[in-house]
Amino acid sequence: MTNEDIKTKAENIALANFLSNSPDSLSYDEIIGALLNDSDNDLIEKDIYIWSPFEHFPASDVARYIEDLKDSVIWNFKKEN
């Protein structure tokens, strides 16, 4: 598995753990950017929904949790190589 494959899989895993829906038309970076910068109404308009256990957390915190999980998955897969 290439480093790019690991990164893509890690991004998908991280998004799936914290979002109940995100559009395929947006990149990982666009979704993180929206969580960091957009209002709740803008997120809904973009079809980005935070999973219910985290829906009362600030979206910027959820973005940080997603990034942390992504980084952890990447680190774990790369240390196996």
In one-letter notation, the amino acid at residue 31 is I
pLDDT grade, residue 5 (50/70/90)?
Answer: very high
- Give me the domain span that covers residue 22: 3-80
Please measure the distance between the N-terminal and C-terminal CA atoms of the chain and give it in whole angstroms.
Answer: 9
Q: Is the pTM of this model over 0.85?
A: yes
Q: What is the pLDDT of residues 32-42, one digit of tens each?
A: 999 999 999 99
Span 15-56, pLDDT tens digits: 999 999 999 999 999 999 999 999 999 999 999 999 999 999
Cα–Cα distance between 71 and 15 in angstroms, integer? 12
Quote the CA–CA distance of 59 and 74 in Å, as a whole number: 23
Number of domains composing the chain: 1
Q: Phi, psi (5° rounding) for residue 24?
A: -65, -20
Q: Which of 42, 12, 44, 5 is nearest to 27 (CA)?
A: 12
CA 77, CA 58: separation in Å to the nearest integer? 29
